[in-house]
Amino acid sequence: MSDKFDVVVIGAGPAGYVAAIKAAQLGLSTACVEQWLDDKGKVRLGGTCLNVGCIPSKALLDSSYKFHEAKADLGVHGISVSDATIDVPAMIARKGKIVDQLTGGIAGLFKHNGVTAVSGTGKVLAGTRVEVTDKDGNVQVLEAGHIIIAAGSLPINIPPAPVDGDLIVDSTGALEFQEVPARLGVIGAGVIGLELGSVWGRLGSDVVVLEALEEFLPMMDQQIAKEAGKIFKKQGLDIRLGARVTGSEVKDGKVTVSYSTADGEHTEEFDKLIVAVGRRPRSEELFSTDSGITLDERGFIFVNDFCETEAPRVYAVGDVVRGPMLAHKGSEEGVMVAERIAGKPAQMNYDCIPSVIYTHPEVAAVGKTEQELKAEGVPYKSGTFPFVASGRALASNDSDGMVKMLAHEETDRILGCHIVGPSAADLVQQVVIAMEFGSSAEDLALTVFGHPTLSEAVHEAALAVDGHAIHIANRKKRK
Ligand code: FAD
Ligand code: AMP
């Protein structure tokens, strides 16, 4: 193998593998260094997202939702499946197959596009060189025209609940339970805690989510967060806000968790405990001190809007840099950087990145929240539409939640959209596209939406912005 490349990427997660494929498509000789090994000691591509993140969690969310539907939701359609049972090892094995198929698919794409996969741990040295140490300790140095660091992130551990991989697990361990825990504790009511709590709750666990903050989903639009909180409560998810975990003890196959609230100290006993308190950038031992790369105060690799680090011709993308820790954010950064290396004037619109919590119903958002607009003093108007008024949602017996559209008071430009409801992830994408094209709420209002679809709720929310909704009583005066 040549040890000279136009581009060397470190990390083959969604930020790194996409950057590598794009660079190769643009005619640049490209290597992608990845340390992850499969059980046969071969390089494993796809990073957190494909192996232990987005994909396996969605596989389990879908399996568990089907079980829940069979058990609890089909009766209303006149269908009785009262003796539905769940074979947890079979469900986990199905998830494993999907992961294998997708990670293998990345290997195929690398081959097809001419990306060289290099197995080992990469470290950036001064002079755009990458030192790679393989599993046997062999070291090679790659000369790179440009380097893209995409080393990703790792789960945060907290001293009160040290992960033991058995009773106390992180998100990776929570994707591997071989039986349904009778009582499940989750620390952290963030995206990952809510998704994994939902998986096991649907399968029968009695789930308690302990969240230190008083506010539920503070980063989401608060009207939508409150609505989501009510729906989750109705579903039986016991989310305790203002509950800070202070300790844990593993004894006789159980874990006892201590936590404090405004009322004092409490304890709860669980069969399993998932620690889902966030992720941190994986930025240690990634570069030599003379490489010129710097970290910000939170340990993220410092980059500008174009993902350039402080070292010339060294870029960083994905979870290892500032911004939301989302697969698609990293992938788009990877594309931007590959294009810029190839001399194209690419840039990224950080104002238009959708985010989703894949509970049921889903919670999805793009753009500014109402509280952000208020804080920034931006004049805005809003329109909402509840799914209970959507014919399609009622037909599916899936009518919890609402769409909320925010637009500029004077220009009518769409500033944000927040949804809790069925297929919210796919619905919000329609607004992402509209926002990318600088659409006004009226542009969406004047668009023809198929009937009956859930998308009509987006249409009605856009109409409601100026008091023109048809299928609900408009509270505001028509403009
Ligand atoms: P990663 O995917 O973490 O990949 C980094 C890669 O770099 C890894 O393969 C690692 O082994 C490798 N690496 C690190 N250091 C080195 C080194 N020195 N040398 C060689 N290789 C190295 N995001 C979404 O958008 N949607 C979701 O639904 C979603 N669900 C999630 C569910 C869970 C349970 C979790 C944990 C995460 C989820 N995420 C989701 C987040 C998403 O997985 C991450 O944002 C995404 O994987 C980040 O991509 P990345 O390429 O930056 O890093
Ligand atoms: P996220 O970063 O979105 O995955 O969310 C993680 C959540 O975990 C945050 O809302 C934190 O407030 C919460 N958290 C962190 N530490 C603790 C703790 N000791 N007890 C309870 N919740 C915590």
Architecture of domain 4-155+280-348 in CATH? 3-Layer(bba) Sandwich (3.50)
Q: Distance from CA of residue 41 to its chain's centroid?
A: 28
Whether the per-residue pLDDT at 343 is higher than 90: the answer is yes
Q: Is 168-277 in the same CATH topology as 4-155+280-348? A: yes
Pick the catalytic residue from 266, 360, 451, 459.
451
245 in ligand 2 pocket by Cβ < 6 Å? yes
The residue with greater pLDDT, 321 or 479, is: 321
Please choose, from the candidates 34, 8, 30, the residue with its C-alpha nearest in 3D space to the C-alpha of residue 120: 34
Per the omega criterion (within 30 degrees of 0), is the bond before 379 cis? no
Question: Terminal CA-to-CA distance of the chain, rounded, Å?
Answer: 67
Model pLDDT for residues 15-34, shown as the tens digit of each residue:
999 999 999 999 999 999 99
Question: How much is the pLDDT for 83?
Answer: 87
208 in ligand 2 pocket by Cβ < 6 Å? no
Whether the per-residue pLDDT at 477 is higher than 70: the answer is no
Bridge partners (DSSP) listed for residue 362:
421
Please name the residue that has the structure tokens 């396996």: 56
Closest-approaching ligand to the CA atom of 213: 2
Question: How much is the pLDDT for 413?
Answer: 98
| Average per-residue pLDDT for the chain | 97
Q: What is the average per-residue pLDDT within 203-216?
A: 98
Instruction: Please indicate whether residue 146 is annotated as part of the active site.
Output: no
**With the C-alpha atoms ordered 304, 305, 307, 312, is the resulting torsion angle positive or negative?**
negative
Question: How far does residue 104's CA lie from ligand 2's centre (Å)?
Answer: 34
Question: How much is the pLDDT for 47?
Answer: 98
| Topology at the third CATH level for domain 168-277 | FAD/NAD(P)-binding domain (3.50.50)
Q: Using the atom order of ligand 1, give the atom closest to the CA of residue 45.
A: 9
Whether the per-residue pLDDT at 155 is higher than 70: the answer is yes
Q: Is residue 7 very low, low, confident or very high in pLDDT (cuts 50, 70, 90)?
A: very high
CA–CA gap between residue 16 and residue 8 (Å, rounded): 10
Whether the per-residue pLDDT at 475 is higher than 80: the answer is no
189 is in an annotated binding site: yes
34 in ligand 1 pocket by Cβ < 6 Å? yes
327 is in an annotated binding site: yes
Q: What is the average per-residue pLDDT within 270-275?
A: 98
Q: Could you give the percent of the chain with pLDDT greater than 90?
A: 97
**Contact at 8 Å (CB) between 153 and 321?**
no
pTM across the whole model: 0.97
Q: What is the average per-residue pLDDT within 312-319?
A: 98
48 in ligand 1 pocket by Cβ < 6 Å? yes
Question: How much is the pLDDT for 389?
Answer: 98
Name, in order, each residue with C-beta under 8 angstroms of 181's C-beta and a sequence gap of 6 or more: 200, 205, 270, 271, 272
Question: How far does residue 216's CA lie from ligand 2's centre (Å)?
Answer: 11
Q: Using the atom order of ligand 1, give the atom closest to the CA of residue 320.
A: 52
6 is in an annotated binding site: no
Question: How much is the pLDDT for 27?
Answer: 98
Question: How far does residue 53's CA lie from ligand 1's centre (Å)?
Answer: 7
Question: How much is the pLDDT for 82?
Answer: 75
Q: Count CB-CB contacts under 10 A for residue 38.
A: 13
Whether the per-residue pLDDT at 1 is higher than 90: the answer is no
Whether the per-residue pLDDT at 10 is higher than 80: the answer is yes
301 in ligand 1 pocket by Cβ < 6 Å? no
Question: How far does residue 10's CA lie from ligand 2's centre (Å)?
Answer: 29
CA–CA gap between residue 219 and residue 477 (Å, rounded): 30
CATH number of 352-464: 3.30.390.30
**Contact at 8 Å (CB) between 82 and 73?**
no
Name, in order, each residue with C-beta under 8 angstroms of 90's C-beta and a sequence gap of 6 or more: none
Kindly list the domain boundaries of the chain, sorted by start residue: 4-155+280-348, 168-277, 352-464
**Contact at 8 Å (CB) between 336 and 330?**
no
